[in-house]
Structure 1
Amino acid sequence: MIRSNSLLLCALLLTMFQAAMCQVNLKSVDQVWDHYDRYKEPVITNRFFKHTEVLHLIQKHTTSRFIDAVQIGQSVKGRSINHLKLGTGKTKVLLWSQMHGDESTATMALFDLLNFLAADDEHNELRKLILGNLELNIVPMLNPDGAQQWKRRNDLEIDINRDARYLVTPEGRALMNLAKELKPEIGFNLHDQSTLYAAGPTSNTATLSFLAPAYDYPKSMNEVRKRATQLILTMNTALQTRVPGKIAKYDDAFDPRCFGDTFQGMGISTILIESGGYYVDPEKQYIRKINFYALLNAFESIAKKSYANQNLEDYQSIPENSRSLYDVLIRNVSISKEGIAFRTNLGIVRSQIKSPDFGSMSYNGRIEELGDVELTYGYDEIEASNLTFTPGNIKLMRKSEWEALSPQQELNLIREGYLFVKWTDGTSPAGPLNARLLNLTNKATNTIQSASIGQQAQFLLSRDGKPVYALLNGYVLDLTKNVEAVPNVFGY
């Protein structure tokens, strides 16, 4: 009996020790979140970095002998596709990013993770756990030609992620050949999605969306897909502490053209991660940090195999993402059209306009919806039940007077009902205008007299004839407050 009790006590102490060690590691991951700025790669400051910057960052880590790097292919335009390897563990993990050239959030996070894993500080136990148990294989910027022109497809105009069967693209062939050579146990397919997706029928943005792709049309569940699903659940648990309610999942209909579905069928537990939207994060720098945190939690879980404790049924509780958000939603505004006055709702979306050097973005706000907007929401919402859609007026002034306007003077003119300036001594430019509030026009009258689908969102919301809000190129200005310039207005 004494021996039995001793064995029971030892087992209990061992369980408590293991649980304590898990807590230490979990605490360490959370502390890394607090210390993230130490590891954030300073060379990358926005979404529009190019292949050249990636090569410099790869060289930084190969020079320090932290990673091994080898070219595994070339893009259509001859840019290198690179495979980075680090870690000495038996479990091989393959991560690839920017398969779509204009989806760069995860690429930023991958270089932040390399900085973390190369560092030497109080998080060394976590590094030792990850690098001692995993072999990380990273292909950053699989589509460098697409990144160069900030476009989804490669230079053949083929969507690489729909090329898993035909392998027409050199980029797709490079990834497939690497996967067949490595035979990794786990793969991460890293993408971006529209910022207008919500997590289920809610106002919550889908900041990250996951998918454990199906490998056949019946959407069967084998051990390979089960492991991918359990890893998603692990990341979801961690992320709910950072972006609660803002995690979603994709519909899992099988598509044999896609790499994720194909790799799942090849025995690689593949997880799709899509970076969506977060309020006031147009460059996705906070979502970059969210990616960093999600992947770090996944690495830890793979190293410890703790994901195996996740219950598959919990996957059903993750809401599906849905395209149900607008940049701005105006509810119950009074408008007049065709001689009829009525109250309705306006959904406004800001589309993106690439700069000529593909290094920055301007925005073009337009009315996308007019009418019933049940189960849709806005990043910004205005309850306009006591407001009226009001066209903006045109202010006549010389070019030099416009150039001399201060932001406060522009704001005062908007409060008086002006949204446009027409130069009396010349022709003003067309296209996006930065760091201003008032639009420019060469027209004698404002053509935006009522709300219409597709119309640019340049109007006022008034109460008793006095402007309360201004919609400038789809951006909301509360005229009761002092404001700064919006990202851009327009010249017409």
Structure 2
Amino acid sequence: MGFKRTIFTGLLFIIVQIGFSQDSLNVKKELDLVWDNYTFFQEETIKNRFIKHADVVQLIQKHINSGLFFNEEIGKSVRGRSINHISFGRGKTKVLLWSQMHGDESTATMALFDLFNFLSGNDEFDPLRRLIRNNLELHFVPMLNPDGAQEWKRRNDLEIDINRDARLLVSPEGRALMEIAKRIEPEIAFNLHDQSTLYAAGRTDKTATISFLAPAYNYPKDMSESRKRATQLILTMNDALQMKVPGNIAKYDDAFDPRCFGDTFQAMGISTILIESGGFRGDSEKQFIRKLNFYALLTALESIAQKSYVSQSLAKYDAIPENSRSLYDLLIRNVSITKEGIAFRTNLGINFAQIKGPDFASMTYNGRVEEIGDMELNFGHQEIEASNFSLSPGKVKFLLKAEWDSLSRDAEFELLKEGYLYVKCTDNQTLTGALSGRILHLTNQDESPVQAAKIGQQAQFVLFQESKPRYAIIKGFVVDLSKELQDLSFPE
């Protein structure tokens, strides 16, 4: 009888394992289908990255009303804005995720609300939702720094960098995060940030679209069990993201900093993962990177729920290239310039300065020359090979004010093709610089305000090929003069 019971028990175990494997296989397929159907979960009220605290509060209320999420206020910012803690799930493994501790780093905040939409859905992806809900207890703190978000700035209103406040806990926002972490005692934590779009994945022309880090917990950078778990989860997300953006994944420098929350939590035994959202060509509002965040987090949560990450070999971590700040927004190679009466060929690295718009809800850009010289190990988001080009300041066109006011866009473009970048109204002192809807800039000078490529100088000049204007560089943006006007996309 005991022998039969043993056989029965063994068969039952095999059947259960087969069922579990089939469920696991189905979940993997679901993840790919979720990626394909992302637009159904994307929070449609978030149109750009300049999300504010009022938007967050309204969206939180929507999800509380669903009955699946629970919310509490765990503190207030310096300016009295609520810091919210949202929870979901009834599993044993606790996971803490927080975003926007730097106010101008909002990509993950957008992605978290996409994730909330997914978790509260009811469709063919229910097996994945059940897996997460039944195995995990999720805790979210979206927009930890609402005052910084309000004015689109990194620090809080005490001018404290919250991510360097884990020891002193001067900021109310930092205290709120530390207190919730100590109260819930998560096994795993995600520290969600943005980084400069000028980072590359290693010494390549590939942007570091997503960068990971399993922070060190001491100066020798030892590998504890909590750090090992964080590293294995990074490798799981890396495997998934490499299928979507191959070559655009990097890892952050792991030098220990006891001031930082990630390093501090790692020392507390919380497996902490830093995710930095960088750049991706053509995605200035980071809407595609938002999708990558959503997918990476969902992949990680599925892996935590099934503990599938434990099969990852730590040796693979070394293969992920390190962040390298080696990109420029525009790199002009081998261009001939003349300075101090000396003509020479060199390379120009141009980066955009960001200019906050009204109510800190938009951004304009102004390109400036940041580097002149050898750039063998640098790349540009956009590059011009200028071996046959020479740089010249733009010319000034003299017009009457009435002539300028009536100048059509086609006529402006024709002047641009002749090498003019500026207009001076001879019968009237005018505002100078760029005007909305116009191509040429106004000046009160008789010659170009930008005479040469100088470090810190606005990138405003013309590239000539055989004495003919070929490209106009206006505020760092490239205008191809060989194209027709309708092909001209000139940012304002």
Fold-level similarity (TM above 0.5): yes
**1:268 & 1:396 partners in 2: Cα distance?**
67
**2:192 & 2:406 partners in 1: Cα distance?**
47
- With 194-203 and 117-126 compared, the bigger mean Cα shift is at 117-126
Residue 9 of structure 1: how far off its partner (Å)? 9.9
Residue 24 of structure 1: how far off its partner (Å)? 1.6
Residue 10 of structure 1: how far off its partner (Å)? 9.2
**1:468 & 1:431 partners in 2: Cα distance?**
22
Residue 440 of structure 1: how far off its partner (Å)? 2.1
Structure 1 segment 207-218 matched on structure 2, within 5 A: 207-218=209-220
Tell me which of 339, 342, 346 is aligned to 2:341. 339
Question: Residue 43 of structure 2: SS of its match in structure 1?
Answer: coil
Residue 435 of structure 1: how far off its partner (Å)? 3.8
1:414 equivalent in structure 2: 416
Tell me which of 471, 477, 491 is aligned to 1:487. 491
2:43 equivalent in structure 1: 41
Structure 1 segment 69-108 matched on structure 2, within 5 A: 69-108=71-110
Contact 2:412 2:439 in 1 (8 A): yes
- With 416-425 and 120-129 compared, the bigger mean Cα shift is at 416-425
> Structure 1 16/374 Cα, relative in aligned 2: closer, same or farther at 3 Å?
farther
> Structure 1 149/216 Cα, relative in aligned 2: closer, same or farther at 3 Å?
same
Residue 18 of structure 1: how far off its partner (Å)? 4.7
**1:368 & 1:439 partners in 2: Cα distance?**
22
Contact 2:459 2:476 in 1 (8 A): yes
Contact 2:331 2:382 in 1 (8 A): yes
Residue 321 of structure 1: how far off its partner (Å)? 0.3
**1:279 & 1:357 partners in 2: Cα distance?**
26
Structure 1 segment 198-209 matched on structure 2, within 5 A: 198-209=200-211
Asked if 1:159 corresponds to 2:191, the answer is no
2:63 equivalent in structure 1: 61
Tell me which of 232, 235, 258 is aligned to 2:234. 232
> Structure 1 435/298 Cα, relative in aligned 2: closer, same or farther at 3 Å?
farther
**1:101 & 1:399 partners in 2: Cα distance?**
44
Q: Which runs of 5+ in 2 are unaligned?
A: none
2:178 equivalent in structure 1: 176
Letter in 1 for 2:38: Y
Letter in 2 for 1:357: D
Structure 1 segment 341-380 matched on structure 2, within 5 A: 341-380=343-382
Contact 1:436 1:485 in 2 (8 A): no
1:470 equivalent in structure 2: 472
**1:48 & 1:225 partners in 2: Cα distance?**
33
> Structure 1 10/332 Cα, relative in aligned 2: closer, same or farther at 3 Å?
farther
Letter in 1 for 2:362: S
Q: What are the superposed Cα offsets for residues 88-135 of structure 1, whole Å, 9 maximum, x if unpaired?
A: 111111000000000000000000110111111111111111111111
Contact 1:435 1:486 in 2 (8 A): no
Residue 351 of structure 1: how far off its partner (Å)? 1.0
> Structure 1 140/425 Cα, relative in aligned 2: closer, same or farther at 3 Å?
farther
Residue 406 of structure 1: how far off its partner (Å)? 4.2
> Structure 1 477/270 Cα, relative in aligned 2: closer, same or farther at 3 Å?
same
- What RMSD in Å do the two structures reach over aligned CA positions? 2.0
- With 158-167 and 402-411 compared, the bigger mean Cα shift is at 402-411
Contact 1:421 1:439 in 2 (8 A): yes
Residue 177 of structure 1: how far off its partner (Å)? 0.3
Contact 2:479 2:488 in 1 (8 A): no
2:392 equivalent in structure 1: 390
TM-score by length of 1: 0.95
Letter in 2 for 1:486: F
Question: Residue 161 of structure 1: SS of its match in structure 2?
Answer: helix
Tell me which of 143, 146, 149 is aligned to 1:144. 146
2:269 equivalent in structure 1: 267
**1:255 & 1:301 partners in 2: Cα distance?**
28
**2:324 & 2:19 partners in 1: Cα distance?**
44
> Structure 1 233/444 Cα, relative in aligned 2: closer, same or farther at 3 Å?
same
2:329 equivalent in structure 1: 327
> Structure 1 413/247 Cα, relative in aligned 2: closer, same or farther at 3 Å?
same
2:188 equivalent in structure 1: 186
2:34 equivalent in structure 1: 32
Percent same amino acid at aligned positions? 64
Question: Residue 357 of structure 1: SS of its match in structure 2?
Answer: helix
Letter in 2 for 1:62: I
**2:433 & 2:8 partners in 1: Cα distance?**
80
Letter in 1 for 2:102: H
Letter in 1 for 2:170: V
Residue 6 of structure 1: how far off its partner (Å)? 12
1:242 equivalent in structure 2: 244
Contact 2:214 2:230 in 1 (8 A): yes
- With 392-401 and 7-16 compared, the bigger mean Cα shift is at 7-16
Residue 452 of structure 1: how far off its partner (Å)? 1.2
1:438 equivalent in structure 2: 440
Contact 1:230 1:312 in 2 (8 A): yes
Residue 12 of structure 1: how far off its partner (Å)? 8.2
**1:150 & 1:188 partners in 2: Cα distance?**
22
**2:137 & 2:334 partners in 1: Cα distance?**
56
**1:183 & 1:63 partners in 2: Cα distance?**
27
Contact 2:432 2:441 in 1 (8 A): no
**2:409 & 2:24 partners in 1: Cα distance?**
55
Asked if 1:310 corresponds to 2:303, the answer is no
1:195 equivalent in structure 2: 197
- With 417-426 and 205-214 compared, the bigger mean Cα shift is at 417-426
Asked if 1:121 corresponds to 2:123, the answer is yes
Question: Residue 78 of structure 1: SS of its match in structure 2?
Answer: coil
**1:148 & 1:215 partners in 2: Cα distance?**
32
Residue 7 of structure 1: how far off its partner (Å)? 11
**1:280 & 1:254 partners in 2: Cα distance?**
34
Letter in 1 for 2:125: H
Residue 294 of structure 1: how far off its partner (Å)? 0.5
